[in-house]
Amino acid sequence: MAVMFERLPTVPTSQELVDRAFRRSTRAASSRKKDEAMLMTAGNILSDNLTNLVRKYPSFVNIPPFYYDLADAVVGVDEMRIHLSRVSWAAAQIRTITKEHLAEMKGAKDKPSVRRASFGRMASVMKSIEKDLLFLNDARQKLRFMPTVDPDLPTIIVAGYPNVGKSSFMTAVTGARPEIASYPFTTKGVGVGHFTRGHQRYQVVDTPGLLDRPLCERNEIELQAIAALRHLRGVVLYILDPSEHCGFSLEEQLRLLEDIQPWLRLPVLVVANKVDIAPYDGIGMTMSTLSGTGVAEVLDRMVEILEEEEGRTKE
Ligand SMILES: Nc1nc2c(ncn2[C@@H]2O[C@H](COP(=O)(O)OP(=O)(O)O)[C@@H](O)[C@H]2O)c(=O)[nH]1
Ligand SMILES: [Mg+2]
């Protein structure tokens, strides 16, 4: 997975393309119909390059909604479509210019000057899509860092304030150290781990930087990137630290829960951690990732909820 946008083509600048096309055209210069050959070579190189670029870009039609929403948050899918259509337009323009000037060359006495005129027009078309190519190149850079989260796997999304025990839970149930995947608008990256029950593989996603502070502190685009999580086949495990050693009061922690729940629209299981050092008799289950108490029960319950959800989506 995560290969969603990996094969995006590199996007050259207008100048690079023009240089490439005109340089290659001089190699065609030995033939008898020198100017015709140069014109065709340059025109073909430019229009083919632009057409291929558009073709290799993802259409965003058949991609999982999780990735669509992330991509939209990161680069803006509609905006990207506009830039792509301008590149298509330029490819068509270049083809027209090539055809027209080839026709003009037929009866011309001064073929080199017709050829120079055609190159001038091609260069100005290329100049007019300079910003579009730069945008697409920038989009490519950003899209390459999409997370390695598999939207097809049943997923436990671990949430809660920093230091409540999210990573400890993750390590307890997935064993190995999690793979760290980049996620838009987070500096820490999300942790991705797996475990298997019977034949079913499950994914656990630790979300530092995403679901660990109130949503009112986020801008629109960050909210969109967080909301993309709702497309996962997921259940949220919201971890509380009733010992308050994490530095946040229980009240604050419960408030964050209320904040996140409606935004993600996924089932939530609340679990109080660190019960080895703090008694707790509020909502949800209890565990200690340190002593191991309750962890297996929490995991069983998560799997149960995920199975119920699967049953519901299959109906
Ligand atoms: N006493 C106790 N400490 C814990 C427990 N779980 C985690 N911790 C400690 O709490 C701190 C934060 O844990 P961590 O898993 O990194 O929290 P995260 O920031 O939510 O990922 C670490 O020092 C852990 O050792 C627990 O069940 N009991
Ligand atoms: Mg952590």
Mean pLDDT of 8-16: 89
Give the pLDDT band of residue 315 (cuts 50, 70, 90).
Answer: low
Mean pLDDT of 92-96: 98
> pLDDT tens digits, residue range 286-313?
999 999 999 999 999 999 999 998 887 7
Give the pLDDT band of residue 9 (cuts 50, 70, 90).
Answer: confident
Percent of the chain with pLDDT over 70: 97
Q: What is the reported pLDDT for 4?
A: 65
Q: What is the reported pLDDT for 112?
A: 95
Rounded-to-integer distance, Cα 68 and Cα 133, Å = 21
Q: How far, in Å, from the CA of 198 to the mean position of ligand 2?
A: 28
Q: What is the reported pLDDT for 2?
A: 44
> 184, 191, 125, 189: which is closest to 157 by C-alpha?
191
Q: What is the reported pLDDT for 158?
A: 95
Strands 190-197 and 154-159: unpaired
Residue nearest to atom 19 of ligand 1 (CA): 163
Q: How far, in Å, from the CA of 166 to the mean position of ligand 1?
A: 7
CB of 166 sitting under 6 A from ligand 1? yes
* Three-state secondary-structure class, residue 72: helix
Residue 3 has pLDDT above 60, yes or no: no
CB of 292 sitting under 6 A from ligand 1? no
Residue nearest to atom 9 of ligand 1 (CA): 165
Q: What is the reported pLDDT for 189?
A: 81
Residue nearest to atom 24 of ligand 1 (CA): 165
Mean pLDDT, the chain, whole residue set: 91
In the chain, helix, strand, coil percent, each to 5? Answer: 55, 10, 35
> pLDDT tens digits, residue range 248-271?
999 999 999 999 998 888 999 999
Q: Give the tokens for residue 31.
A: 């033939």
Ligand closest to CA 164: 1
Side chain identity, residue 145: F
* Three-state secondary-structure class, residue 75: helix
Residue 58 has pLDDT above 90, yes or no: no
Ligand closest to CA 212: 1
Domains recognised in the chain with CATH numbers: 14-143 (1.20.120.1190), 154-314 (3.40.50.300)
Give the pLDDT band of residue 41 (cuts 50, 70, 90).
Answer: very high
Q: How far, in Å, from the CA of 163 to the mean position of ligand 1?
A: 6
Q: How far, in Å, from the CA of 182 to the mean position of ligand 1?
A: 23
User: In ligand 1, which atom is closest to the CA atom of 212?
Assistant: 20
CB of 167 sitting under 6 A from ligand 1? yes
